[in-house]
Structure 1
Amino acid sequence: MAPTKAAAACPYELPSKYKFLKVLGEGVFGTVLKCLDKETSETVAIKFPNCQGQQTWNEIAMLKKIKGLKLDKHNIVKFIDCFPTTLGKAIVFELLDISLYDYMEKRNDAPMLLSDIRTIIQQMATAFKALKENQVIHTDVKLDNIMMVNHRRRPFEVKLIDFGLAIARLEARTGRTLQPVAFRSPEIILGCRYSQAIDMWTLGCAMFQMICGRLPFSGETECEIMLGIVELLGQPADDVLENGRQTKTFFNLNDQVWRIKTYAECFPDQTRTKKSHEFQSLDDLKAMRLEEKNKTEAVEREQCVELLKAMLRVDAKKRITPKKVLTHPFITKDHPNNDA
């Protein structure tokens, strides 16, 4: 009777080769089921769409490209198969554990160990390098889309997931709205030309969360995010502002000098009593020591923050590349011997 009960509990009709085990999650993206592939004895995750739409077709096309290039060997989720449903195609993936967002939430957003941050960033840079070499922009990098293979085992193994909004580099169109608002890169907000560097920006935002347990920029509007970016990182260079289609939405030009609009200018009917965050600059993060007298940790934390600064360069042309992340001292653990 148990198999009948499990089948009855399944919210979707499955091909006969799959046995429903449980629902893993539900959201605007669809519903994910944990299933057993009876032919291979492999446990898999199957994502069912909530409605018919282009995003499912786009994701499948991108996943097929990634599979053909064998990019699952580079810390990218393994795509197994797809099959039709009444709402569009369901997608079969390798089964992973929990997202980095859920992991941090389980820990009440406590700052992560530098060693864990290093492991995760190294793997994501590996994924980014493979995507860049194949002209793919993910466009939706965030803690939710970095999945842990086993959150109890160290060193952590993670994989980049969710290619529903991914685009080919040649499809990048100026003025297109991409990325969640809080993770939106300066070039997207300003309406400038963009590249794979927008993914490095969002990984930097995620790294900031790993370091201190909060978002670097908070707000529900692009104006609030741009104010936060300027407060923490400084104003974009004039040549960047001059090339932005939306620059005048956020900045005023007086006597050939660009100045960011105040909160009151952006929202005349609202009041604002504090800054977006407590930090004056990213260098303030270097003081967030877990062990005050540990000289090695002090050096590693400084290198960690220096890497973060390189990832969050306001000017995309100066932002660090995946290849250079992989050779950064924080990743290679190249630091002076403090015992001398």
Structure 2
Amino acid sequence: MTPLVDTHFMPDIQSSLKSSRYIVLRKLGEGVTSSTWLVRDTLSSPQMYAAAKILTYEATADQLCVRELEFLQTITRGAETNDSEEGFEHLPFLYDHFTIDVGGPGNTAQTHLCLIQTLFSTSVSALRRSAPTQSLPIYMVRSFIYMTLQALQTLHSLHIIHTDLKLDNILFSNAQFSYDADLERYLLEHPAEVDSEGVPKSQPLPNEWTHETSALQAERMTVALVDYGHAEWAEKPMAKNFCPMALRPPEVILAAGVSTAVDIWAIGCLTFELLVGRWLFSPEDGGDDWTQEDDHLAKMMELTGQFDFPQSVLERSQLKDKYFDETGNLLRVPELIPVKLEDAISNYKIQALDDNDIREAADFIRSCLHLDWTQRKTAEELLKHPFALQAFS
């Protein structure tokens, strides 16, 4: 996919969208292909606060990016017909959508898709980074992973692959300002800010949680899996590159077909990251000796203990000859050094993790990291793993 140019539509604070229906109150955040704004819906009764995600001009024109609307519509319809399914509590809803036309260079019109969605707070990634060790207590990790698995179980039942499952895309609910009066008071006390050029600053809504939140208090934490700009239909994925590099599974590197198991691999990687504050995989480029992908595949084999790369994967791989010889050995990494996941976790000396915690977490992570995606556990199966079952306990 061609990289998108960063052409954002930036509304003014207190300006309106969709014929004055939505009043823009502040900027919540910004990415490469979109910006997100806190808005008040003046036609709802009572007036509702929501998040307005406005795609860039280039993203709106890109057929792959604009499919986010389809995915959100599918999720919202599913929630309306299956409101008892817990996974929908951890997914965003789409309230409205429309396009915004603005003048571009040379008096050309530029169209921006706007998605009115559930309002959330900050990310689990921000909470993790705030901790001195960059890691979080195991009781939080279990809960976050459990809720994310619930979201994935529902998402996968709708035949949607998220493909961009990372801690930045797991957001806390807006529970601190669940009452409109509380949010109105906060906004009055903390007005929207702009930089020296008058451009609105990003001001995500805060929450009450810290890395020191107790296990009892943490039972009230609720998170949701957001951002479907890179999602794919399971039956017919269209993109070629999925997932951030550190979270990329072997089938993506090898072009060996993808499925909902792409998200399961990411769950294993994120569990490790939350527990120890470091990426599980951080592949390096060896210059003329090996590529970053060579190193990544080698580390996968070393950490999973699967030194004979599954023939079933290699047979499906379009890029097998780029990385493996005829006997299934890596071309440019002749020597593999086994590293048990238990040791990989223990090496970071996280004091709050005892031996049983480490064994249980390592077994859970291994269940997510089978090199052959057809052998990985599903979200439903992982929810029954002892590691996940201890969430909220």
TM-score with structure 2 setting the length: 0.71
SS of the residue corresponding to residue 69 of structure 1 reads helix
Tell me what 1:259 maps to. 329
SS of the residue corresponding to residue 325 of structure 2 reads strand
Tell me what 1:135 maps to. 159
Indicate the structure whose relative CO is greater, using CA pairs within 8 Å and at least 6 residues apart.
2
In 1, are the aligned partners of 2:28 and 2:37 still within 8 Å (CA)? yes
Which deviations, in whole Å up to 9, do the C-alpha atoms of 1:288-315 show, x marking residues without a partner?
Answer: 56457x8xx4323321221011111212
Tell me what 1:43 maps to. 49
Which deviations, in whole Å up to 9, do the C-alpha atoms of 1:162-212 show, x marking residues without a partner?
Answer: 112222221136x93222222111111111122111110112111111011
Change in 2 beyond 3 A, CA 1:56/1:16: farther
State which of 171, 184, 189 in structure 1 corresponds to 2:248. 184
1:17-166 correspondence to structure 2 within 5 Å: 17-40=21-44, 41-51=47-57, 52=60, 53-70=62-79, 73-86=88-101, 87-107=111-131, 110-149=134-173, 150=207, 152=209, 154-155=218-219, 156-166=221-231
Structure 2, unaligned runs of 5 or more: 1-10, 102-110, 174-206, 210-216, 285-291
In 2, are the aligned partners of 1:31 and 1:49 still within 8 Å (CA)? yes
> Whole-Å Cα distance in 1 between the matches of residues 30 and 14 of structure 2?
13
> Whole-Å Cα distance in 2 between the matches of residues 199 and 8 of structure 1?
37
SS of the residue corresponding to residue 164 of structure 1 reads coil
In 2, are the aligned partners of 1:251 and 1:260 still within 8 Å (CA)? yes
Greater Cα shift, 208-217 or 14-23: 14-23
1:301 lines up with 2:358 in the alignment: yes
In 1, are the aligned partners of 2:234 and 2:259 still within 8 Å (CA)? yes
Tell me what 2:189 maps to. none
State which of 317, 323, 335 in structure 2 corresponds to 1:244. 317
Change in 2 beyond 3 A, CA 1:109/1:44: farther
Greater Cα shift, 211-220 or 11-20: 11-20
Change in 2 beyond 3 A, CA 1:24/1:250: same
Which deviations, in whole Å up to 9, do the C-alpha atoms of 1:111-165 show, x marking residues without a partner?
Answer: 2111111101111111111122222111111111111124616222110111122
Tell me what 2:185 maps to. none
**Aligned-residue CA RMSD in angstroms?**
2.7
1:2-13 correspondence to structure 2 within 5 Å: 8-9=12-13, 13=17
2:138 counterpart letter in structure 1: L
> Whole-Å Cα distance in 2 between the matches of residues 279 and 110 of structure 1?
26
In 2, are the aligned partners of 1:77 and 1:159 still within 8 Å (CA)? yes
TM-score with structure 1 setting the length: 0.82
In 2, are the aligned partners of 1:286 and 1:302 still within 8 Å (CA)? no
1:228 lines up with 2:234 in the alignment: no
Instruction: Report the Cα offset of residue 105 of structure 1.
Output: 2.0
Instruction: Give the fraction of aligned pairs with identical amino acids, expressed as a percent.
Output: 24
> Whole-Å Cα distance in 1 between the matches of residues 315 and 273 of structure 2?
31
Instruction: Report the Cα offset of residue 58 of structure 1.
Output: 0.2
Instruction: Report the Cα offset of residue 262 of structure 1.
Output: 2.5
Instruction: Report the Cα offset of residue 243 of structure 1.
Output: 2.5
2:69 counterpart letter in structure 1: I
Instruction: Report the Cα offset of residue 98 of structure 1.
Output: 0.9
Change in 2 beyond 3 A, CA 1:32/1:11: farther
> Whole-Å Cα distance in 2 between the matches of residues 182 and 330 of structure 1?
23
1:45 counterpart letter in structure 2: A
